[in-house]
């Protein structure tokens, strides 16, 4: 059984006990424990079930590479699924539960999948669920949905109770990894004067060196680590962050760090996670290495662990994983585990070494301690279900015939170590296969390149392929100096630290244990623990023609779990290479993508939530609207009132009331969101002639003209009224959502194409409040507000404007109308918008003035057949489609979009064109977007469509349903009745009519 040893555990404080809950069970650990070490100390070996077969799974590793021990942490707004027990620091009151089982971890119904293993081969989903079609929807999908998913998502009503934030940091040298190589590098760079940032994912510095008995300068590594840390802390130009993972490396020296501030101590106030957005001149990755499992049958039974992890739990937490631990290896490093176990008084029945010769210092020492060393041997199979009971021994050279069986309760395995090359590779750093060391290591000649064409990522220590302490620390020292130099600093005069550890003999590449493992054993030999990918699956994929490692990955799901193949990738691609009879470098690795280890969604969002998620633009009337029944809807970055609800009134009734009030008397509209762009200069007219389809240069001062803007593709992009303020100055109104886009569009042409034209633009949208006084009594209201301006039809006719004062406020009324009524849109300085609004309400009281919202605006413009950008247009509509030929100049030589509108498809008479539509049943409103059909069916079985609805409303003015739509031959088919289909298959008949439903001659607005 796994238990807490009497002594040892350099990281735990045995005087501070911590209570925690595991699946409802109350357990105790020590300060300094991880959840994994505390679970092992309590003999909780079984921590979860695998994804596909629901096999019992135990802790395998001691770090972020852990594939099995994923748990749900916390409760309510603090609940988070899929947290790794190995990277979760224990705290008092921690609650954790296991995942992927039903009804319980001990007894799991899904485990039946395990019995069905032979029916769940690689590509199972693709192969099984092909037919019949109905079976997918009614049988497979419901079953899979219930069983699928890793962990449970937080409840929808629970909001994340924590806070997150970003940090922006700039440095000369970013060191990722605070092991001995990283510290040596940081010291060199720090002493050079470079601004250095060191990130370490653990809460302690020094990495594995203290666990592995490394010495520096003849003393225990910890002494050097402590001294170096102290020196670094004293340097003002060096910053060290523990519990901060280097998550990703991106273009031009950009890197992401992920700091976990309160996960280990929720009582600390402040943000939980912090995302560091770092720009560094040089990024030095000293990210160490990860041990590989060995591929033998039963290597997923709880109790089978990485040899290094077994050593970690003993040295760091004083926890033994078993009383009798068999060690299986292909290298010398695992002997350190055997020796440590033996030294702690535990039983090591044997070291099973796949190599024929093992006579290095470590194997000899093990033998001297009385440990049985079996060379040329392999584990044929591990026995046990929820924990290891024994292992079968066979010859490594054979197929797996058991020659011996050893009783044990744990297995420590080591298939060698793989440098953590992720950060090196994220941005394109290349790797070499080192046959002798059996690993991929960075190729320093092919680093990721920065803006200046030079490599900006350097790699040092174990991550650079130097697995022994002496060369690793020396490499850190040298590469640290190199990074500082490349960042423009003279390397410091630090003496090179001299590291030492026991010499290691050569490794033997073992990708299959035993060598010729028979098929039956292959089916029990796991490569990817989390996704249940076995050796047999990869071999099957190869047999079925999946030669690319990227395809095999997706077909078998190898390395696609949340650990992203940290343990499985190398073993998997080696099996693939073997199956394909190819070399490992020929097969290559899959792409390394950030983040290195999952980071929280909260950290990615940072502070951008709630009111900070997006900037909200407010008109000067925003607060009044909010206080007076405004029923908000989002319009671009603005909020606009859909309508203004009065007490006890429905939205629908409010819209109807607002329309009738406007048509019958007078209303007020906040139109401040309209874009307002000043275009000024001697060439302003010439410029606007290019931008708009119609002629703007001929516009008289004091007059307005409605204009259309198209893209170079010819498609309608924006519309609005242009006013000529003086000879050289125009004011262009844009749609509410279009002001920034159109201003940028103008600037693009002025800066990149016609830079010699004398034109300036300024977006003055927010400088003015624009308030519409609309309705037959509009003039009376303005006059009553108090003005010396002559607002009569003669002095200020339709499509004219004037400057003056109204209600003592500097005002510019435009005689423009989007409703078809007598209408003045009055621009006043933004700061006086509310005052003007209040004055208008007071003056209009006798006419029953009320404000109206966007829906009333929409209905009234549709009654008049005015188009709306975004309703009648969708990026594929040209002005000609909308019957706007009158607004397209025939005199102008050129304008943006003109050439495109001459293309054959644009002049095709069969293009759908705008018409009005009246339903046979006046009460029936056609659904928006509904398609018109002619009753025929196309060759592909789809109903032939001849048009679609673009705007559709119930008109209170006309007391009937009205719609606008684009219809094939529409304008030629006036009076015809056509059919629209609803989503339930029923149809609505509507008559094609003129799109102007109300006041075709414009009498109402020309008064």
Buried b (16+ CB within 10 A) or exposed e, 686-696: ebbbbbbbbbb
- State the binding string over 754-773 for other proteins (x if CB under 8 A, else -): -x------------------
Name the minimum Å distance from CB 465 to other proteins: 24
Query: In the complex with other proteins, which residue's Cβ is closer, 452 or 959?
Result: 452
**How far are the Cα atoms of 123, 672, 681 from residue 803, in angstroms, in the given order?**
74, 18, 21
747 binds other proteins (CB under 8 A): yes
Q: What is the CA radius of gyration of the chain?
A: 37
Query: In the complex with other proteins, which residue's Cβ is closer, 253 or 308?
Result: 253
End-to-end CA separation in angstroms for the chain: 96
Q: Could you say which of 581, 752, 936, 986 contacts other proteins (CB under 8 A)? A: 752
Give the bridge partners for 943, in sequence order.
937
Query: In the complex with other proteins, which residue's Cβ is closer, 16 or 902?
Result: 902
Query: In the complex with other proteins, which residue's Cβ is closer, 165 or 347?
Result: 165
Residues between 892 and 911 with contacts to other proteins, criterion CB under 8 A? 893-896, 898-900, 902-903
- Report residue 152 as tokens: 């449970």
Name the minimum Å distance from CB 617 to other proteins: 16
Please, how many CA atoms are within 13 Å of residue 523, restricted to the half-sphere of its CB?
11
Query: In the complex with other proteins, which residue's Cβ is closer, 30 or 895?
Result: 895
Q: Could you say which of 471, 515, 713, 989 contacts other proteins (CB under 8 A)? A: 713
The span from the CA of 790 to the CA of 853, in Å, is 29
Residues between 60 and 119 with contacts to other proteins, criterion CB under 8 A? none
Q: What residues contact 601, with CB distance under 8 A and at least 6 apart?
A: none
Q: Which stretch binds other proteins (CB under 8 A): 107-115, 395-403, 803-811, 887-895?
A: 887-895
Q: What residues contact 753, with CB distance under 8 A and at least 6 apart?
A: none
Q: CA triplet 46, 416, 210: central angle to 5 degrees?
A: 80
The three-class DSSP label of residue 605 is helix
Q: Which stretch binds other proteins (CB under 8 A): 34-42, 102-110, 446-454, 846-854?
A: 446-454
Query: In the complex with other proteins, which residue's Cβ is closer, 454 or 974?
Result: 454
Q: Which stretch binds other proteins (CB under 8 A): 97-105, 651-659, 747-755, 988-996?
A: 747-755
6 binds other proteins (CB under 8 A): no
Q: Could you say which of 218, 370, 453, 648 contacts other proteins (CB under 8 A)? A: 453
252 binds other proteins (CB under 8 A): yes
Q: Could you say which of 106, 226, 753, 838 contacts other proteins (CB under 8 A)? A: 753
Query: In the complex with other proteins, which residue's Cβ is closer, 428 or 922?
Result: 428
Q: CA triplet 649, 655, 659: central angle to 5 degrees?
A: 130
Residues between 9 and 38 with contacts to other proteins, criterion CB under 8 A? none
Name the minimum Å distance from CB 899 to other proteins: 5
383 binds other proteins (CB under 8 A): no
Buried b (16+ CB within 10 A) or exposed e, 955-988: bbbeebbbbbbbbbbbeebeeeebbbbeeeeeeb
Closest C-alpha to 821, from 596, 591, 636, 1004 = 1004
Closest C-alpha to 408, from 312, 304, 319 = 304
Cis upstream peptide for 132 (omega within 30°): yes
Q: Could you say which of 15, 751, 938, 983 contacts other proteins (CB under 8 A)? A: 751
Query: In the complex with other proteins, which residue's Cβ is closer, 344 or 449?
Result: 449
Q: Could you say which of 158, 251, 920, 972 contacts other proteins (CB under 8 A)? A: 251
Name the minimum Å distance from CB 251 to other proteins: 5
What angle do the packed helices 739-752 and 684-691 form, to 10 degrees? 110
Q: What residues contact 463, with CB distance under 8 A and at least 6 apart?
A: 177, 181, 285, 286, 287, 288, 289, 419, 420, 421, 424, 442
Query: In the complex with other proteins, which residue's Cβ is closer, 427 or 811?
Result: 427
Q: How many CB atoms lie within 10 A of CB 819?
A: 26
The span from the CA of 405 to the CA of 150, in Å, is 36
604 binds other proteins (CB under 8 A): no
Query: In the complex with other proteins, which residue's Cβ is closer, 561 or 750?
Result: 750
Q: Could you say which of 450, 559, 820, 965 contacts other proteins (CB under 8 A)? A: 450
The three-class DSSP label of residue 908 is coil
Query: In the complex with other proteins, which residue's Cβ is closer, 292 or 676?
Result: 676
Name the minimum Å distance from CB 429 to other proteins: 12
The span from the CA of 335 to the CA of 367, in Å, is 10
Query: In the complex with other proteins, which residue's Cβ is closer, 251 or 404?
Result: 251
The span from the CA of 929 to the CA of 947, in Å, is 10
Name the minimum Å distance from CB 197 to other proteins: 17
Q: What residues contact 519, with CB distance under 8 A and at least 6 apart?
A: 536
Query: In the complex with other proteins, which residue's Cβ is closer, 82 or 889?
Result: 889
Query: In the complex with other proteins, which residue's Cβ is closer, 277 or 367?
Result: 277
Name the minimum Å distance from CB 540 to other proteins: 36
Name the minimum Å distance from CB 697 to other proteins: 17
Q: Which stretch binds other proteins (CB under 8 A): 1-9, 244-252, 850-858, 980-988?
A: 244-252
At residue 767, what are phi and psi to the nearest 5 degrees? -80, -20
Total site size for other proteins, rule CB under 8 A: 29
Q: Which stretch binds other proteins (CB under 8 A): 447-455, 797-805, 832-840, 962-970?
A: 447-455
Name the minimum Å distance from CB 888 to other proteins: 12
The structure tokens 């997923």 sit at: 300
Q: Could you say which of 744, 762, 907, 958 contacts other proteins (CB under 8 A)? A: 744
Name the minimum Å distance from CB 608 to other proteins: 13
Name the minimum Å distance from CB 894 to other proteins: 4
Q: Could you say which of 279, 617, 703, 758 contacts other proteins (CB under 8 A)? A: 279
Distance of CA 60 to the CA centre of its chain: 29
Name the minimum Å distance from CB 448 to other proteins: 9
607 binds other proteins (CB under 8 A): no
Q: Could you say which of 167, 250, 383, 433 contacts other proteins (CB under 8 A)? A: 250
Distance of CA 767 to the CA centre of its chain: 37
Name the minimum Å distance from CB 250 to other proteins: 5
Q: Which stretch binds other proteins (CB under 8 A): 146-154, 449-457, 554-562, 615-623?
A: 449-457
Q: What residues contact 720, with CB distance under 8 A and at least 6 apart?
A: 674, 675, 706, 707, 732, 733, 734, 735, 738
Residues 152, 81 contacting (CB under 8 angstroms): yes
At residue 933, what are phi and psi to the nearest 5 degrees? -125, 160
748 binds other proteins (CB under 8 A): yes
Name the minimum Å distance from CB 481 to other proteins: 25
Residues between 300 and 359 with contacts to other proteins, criterion CB under 8 A? none
At residue 571, what are phi and psi to the nearest 5 degrees? -60, -40
Please, how many CA atoms are within 13 Å of residue 149, restricted to the half-sphere of its CB?
12
Name the minimum Å distance from CB 605 to other proteins: 16
Q: Could you say which of 712, 803, 934, 994 contacts other proteins (CB under 8 A)? A: 712
Bridging pattern class, strands 809-814 and 823-829: antiparallel
**Contact positions toward other proteins, by CB under 8 A?**
250-254, 279, 449-453, 712-713, 744, 747-748, 751-753, 755, 893-896, 898-900, 902-903
């Amino acid at each position: 059984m796994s238990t807490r040893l009497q002594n040892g555990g350099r990281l735990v404080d045995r005087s501070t006990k911590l209570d925690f809950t595991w699946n409802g069970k109350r357990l105790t650990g020590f300060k300094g424990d991880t959840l994994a070490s505390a679970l092992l100390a309590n003999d909780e070996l079984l921590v979860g079930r695998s994804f596909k077969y629901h096999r019992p799974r135990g802790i395998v590793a001691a770090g972020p590479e852990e594939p099995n021990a994923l748990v749900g942490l916390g409760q309510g707004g603090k609940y988070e699924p899929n947290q790794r027990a190995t990277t979760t620091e224990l705290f008092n009151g921690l609650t954790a539960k296991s995942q992927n089982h039903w009804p319980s971890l001990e007894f799991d119904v899904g485990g039946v999948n395990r019995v069905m293993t032979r029916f769940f081969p690689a590509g199972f989903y693709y192969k099984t669920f092909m037919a019949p079609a109905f079976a997918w929807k009614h049988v497979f999908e419901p079953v899979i949905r219930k069983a699928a998913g890793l962990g449970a998502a937080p409840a929808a009503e629970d909001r994340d109770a924590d806070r997150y934030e970003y940090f922006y940091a700039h440095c000369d040298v970013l060191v990722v990894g605070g092991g001995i190589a990283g510290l040596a590098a940081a010291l060199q760079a720090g002493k050079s004067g470079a601004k250095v940032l060191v990130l370490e994912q653990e809460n302690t510095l020094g990495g594995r060196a203290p666990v592995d008995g490394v010495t520096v300068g003849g003393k225990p590594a910890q002494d050097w680590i402590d001294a170096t840390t102290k020196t670094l802390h004293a340097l003002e130009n060096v910053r060290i962050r523990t519990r901060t993972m280097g998550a990703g490396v991106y273009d031009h020296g950009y890197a992401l760090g992920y700091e976990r501030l309160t996960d280990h101590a929720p009582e600390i106030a402040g943000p939980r996670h912090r995302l560091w957005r770092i720009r560094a001149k040089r990024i030095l990755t000293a990210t160490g290495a990860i041990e590989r499992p060995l591929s033998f049958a039963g290597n997923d039974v709880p109790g089978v662990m990485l040899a290094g992890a077994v050593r970690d739990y003993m040295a760091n937490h004083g926890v033994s994983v078993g009383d009798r631990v068999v060690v299986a290896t292909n290298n010398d490093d695992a002997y350190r585990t055997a020796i440590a176990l033996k030294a702690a008084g535990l039983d090591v029945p044997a070291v099973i070494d796949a190599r024929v010769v093992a006579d290095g210092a470590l194997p000899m020492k093990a033998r001297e301690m009385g440990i049985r060393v079996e060379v040329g041997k392999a584990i044929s199979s591990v026995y046990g279900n929820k924990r290891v009971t024994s292992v079968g021994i066979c010859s490594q050279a054979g197929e797996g015939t058991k020659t011996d069986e050893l009783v044990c309760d744990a297995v420590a395995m080591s298939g060698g170590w793989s440098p953590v090359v992720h950060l090196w590779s994220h941005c394109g750093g290349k790797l070499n296969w080192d046959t002798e060391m059996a690993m991929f290591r960075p190729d320093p000649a092919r680093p990721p390149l920065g803006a200046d064409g030079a490599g900006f990522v350097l790699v040092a220590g174990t991550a650079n392929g130097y697995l022994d302490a002496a060369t690793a620390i020396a490499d850190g020292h040298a590469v640290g100096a190199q990074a500082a130099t490349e960042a423009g600093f003279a390397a410091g005069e630090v003496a090179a630290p001299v590291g030492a550890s026991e010499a290691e003999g050569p490794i033997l590449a073992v990708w299959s244990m035993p060598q010729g493992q028979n098929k039956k054993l292959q089916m029990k030999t796991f490569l990817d623990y989390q996704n249940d990918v076995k050796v047999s699956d990869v071999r099957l994929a190869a047999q079925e023609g999946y030669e690319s490692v990227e395809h095999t990955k997706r077909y078998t799901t190898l390395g696609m779990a949340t650990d992203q193949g940290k343990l499985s990738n190398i073993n998997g691609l080696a099996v693939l290479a073997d199956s394909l009879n190819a070399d490992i470098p020929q097969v290559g690795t899959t792409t390394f993508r950030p983040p290195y280890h999952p980071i929280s969604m909260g950290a990615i969002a940072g502070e951008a939530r709630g009111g900070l998620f997006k900037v909200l633009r407010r008109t000067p009337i925003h607060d009044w609207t909010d206080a007076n029944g405004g029923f908000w809807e989002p319009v671009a970055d603005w909020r606009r009132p859909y309508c203004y609800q009065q007490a006890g009134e429905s939205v629908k009734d409010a819209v109807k009331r607002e329309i009738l009030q406007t048509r019958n008397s007078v209303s007020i509209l906040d139109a401040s969101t309209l874009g307002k762009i000043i275009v000024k200069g001697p060439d302003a007219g010439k410029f606007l002639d290019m931008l708009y389809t119609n002629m703007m240069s001929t516009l008289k001062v004091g007059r307005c003209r409605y204009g259309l803007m198209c893209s170079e593709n010819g498609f309608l992009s924006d519309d609005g009224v242009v006013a000529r303020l003086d000879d050289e100055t125009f004011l262009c109104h844009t749609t509410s959502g279009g002001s920034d886009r159109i201003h940028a569009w103008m600037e693009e042409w002025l800066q990149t194409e016609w830079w010699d034209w004398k034109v300036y633009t300024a977006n003055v949208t927010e400088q003015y409040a624009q308030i519409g006084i609309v309705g037959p009594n509009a003039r009376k209201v303005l006059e009553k507000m108090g003005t010396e301006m002559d607002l009569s039809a003669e002095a200020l006719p339709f499509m004219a404007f004037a400057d003056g004062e109204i209600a003592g406020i500097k005002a510019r009324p435009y005689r423009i109308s989007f409703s078809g009524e007598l209408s003045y849109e009055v621009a006043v300085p933004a700061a006086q918008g509310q005052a003007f609004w209040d004055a208008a309400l007071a003056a209009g009281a006798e006419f029953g003035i009320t404000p109206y919202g966007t829906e009333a605006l929409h209905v009234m413009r549709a009654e008049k057949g005015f188009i709306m950008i975004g309703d009648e247009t969708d990026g594929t509509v040209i002005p000609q489609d909308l019957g706007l030929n009158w607004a397209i100049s025939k005199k102008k030589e050129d304008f943006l979009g003109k050439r495109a509108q001459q293309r054959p498809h644009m002049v095709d008479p069969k293009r759908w064109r705008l018409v009005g539509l009246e339903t046979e049943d006046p009460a029936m409103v056609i659904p928006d977007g509904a398609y018109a059909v002619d009753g025929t069916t196309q060759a592909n079985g789809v109903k032939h469509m001849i048009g679609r609805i673009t705007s559709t409303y119930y008109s209170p003015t006309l007391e009937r349903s009205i719609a606008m739509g684009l219809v094939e031959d529409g304008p030629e088919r006036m009076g015809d009745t056509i059919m629209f289909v609803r989503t339930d298959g029923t149809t609505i008949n509507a008559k094609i009519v003129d799109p102007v439903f109300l006041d075709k001659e414009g009498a109402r607005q020309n008064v």
